[in-house]
Amino acid sequence: MGSARVNVPPPVAVSCPCSEVDLVVEVAHPCVVQDHGASFLSGADFMVGSPTALADQATEMRLREAARHGGHTLYVPRGALWGSEDIQRMDDRGVLQGLKVTMIKHPDSFRLEGALRERLGAVRAVLYEGPVRGLCPLAPNNVNTMAAACMAAPSLGFDGVQGCLIADPGLPDWHVVEVEVTGLSGERRDQAFTVTTSRRNPAFPGAVTGAATFPSFWSSLLGK
């Protein structure tokens, strides 16, 4: 299942001069990852700024194999995903039981495909709720945070991590990301470890990305 390609420039030949490049950083569109990611990894490390591309299983497998074969590393930045390191640690320890990411934006901030675009209106509406894998091709530019969560929690992955996309006309200059994490139950079966965070990112009206996302991405690039 790939991302729809609307208003994307025609294909161009891209090569990676391995003797000159240490790291390739993609911040354009998922199709760049799908079409050229393996080539990049043949000669350099590769940071995927559009991880919605990895919702396509063939693309993820192809890039992982290219990284192994080329001896390079595939990076996914945390972006707007608050608590990504904690999620990854829980997953590594085998105690992560559930993960849901809710993103709320003004309708003008969405770049949607297919039927999802038709659901935008003048009132607050839940556009999608379900596995992140099904959402990525419909909102390839808007749900990279959800895709990053799937990569941080491989035991759940794109099919297990749940995504909820909400359009809210009353939210013109904020992007809200809520993350709900569920861990193992305690000794009592009616108890479970839970963490819920809400991140309010200032954003210009109609902007796809909020003001705090770029510094977070840059920190990932610097390894901080």
pLDDT at 3 over 50: no
Do residues 157 and 91 make contact, with C-beta atoms less than 8 angstroms apart? no
* CATH C-level class of 84-204: alpha beta
Cα separation, 20 vs 137, whole angstroms: 33
Q: What is the pLDDT of residues 12-59, one digit of tens each?
A: 455 555 558 899 999 889 999 999 999 999 999 999 999 999 999 999
Specify the DSSP element, H or E, that contains 223: none
Domain with CATH 3.40.50.720 in the chain: 23-75
* CATH C-level class of 23-75: alpha beta
Q: What is the pLDDT of residues 87-122, one digit of tens each?
A: 999 999 999 999 999 999 999 999 999 889 989 988
Q: Please give the pLDDT value at position 185.
A: 77
H runs (alpha helix) in the chain: 30-41, 57-70, 84-93, 114-118, 132-135, 144-152, 157-160, 213-222
